[in-house]
Amino acid sequence: MKAPLPINIWTEVQPAADCRLCDAPSENRHSVPVYRLSVCDLCWQQAQDGWPKEAEPILFAALAKAGLLIPDRNDRGLLPRQYAPPKDYAL
């Protein structure tokens, strides 16, 4: 008998009750699948040019928990809001 395949719970990111970055409750959520978290609209808008340095500990923890790579910083020295992991990296 074959062992069952593991279930990928991250095929769809479910929004948390509060923003993972500022803890503010909000109905307008943005799923950020590459970091595997959801954020409020204000944090999403403020990260248009990259995530603020204050958010890095939370982002690093989310990436580490998911076993994901830390993305390269953008031209402003910030972590990008969206990025594409290498094609040979299995999400």
pLDDT in tens, 20-44: 898 888 778 888 888 888 899 999 9
Q: CB atoms < 10 A from the CB of 47, how many?
A: 21
Distance CA 22, CA 83 (A): 22
pLDDT tens column, 39-84: 999 999 999 999 999 999 999 999 898 888 888 999 999 999 988 7
Could you give the C-alpha distances from 82 to 8, 74, 85, in angstroms and in order?
21, 11, 10
Residue 80 CB burial class (10 angstroms; 0-12, 13-18, ≥19): middle
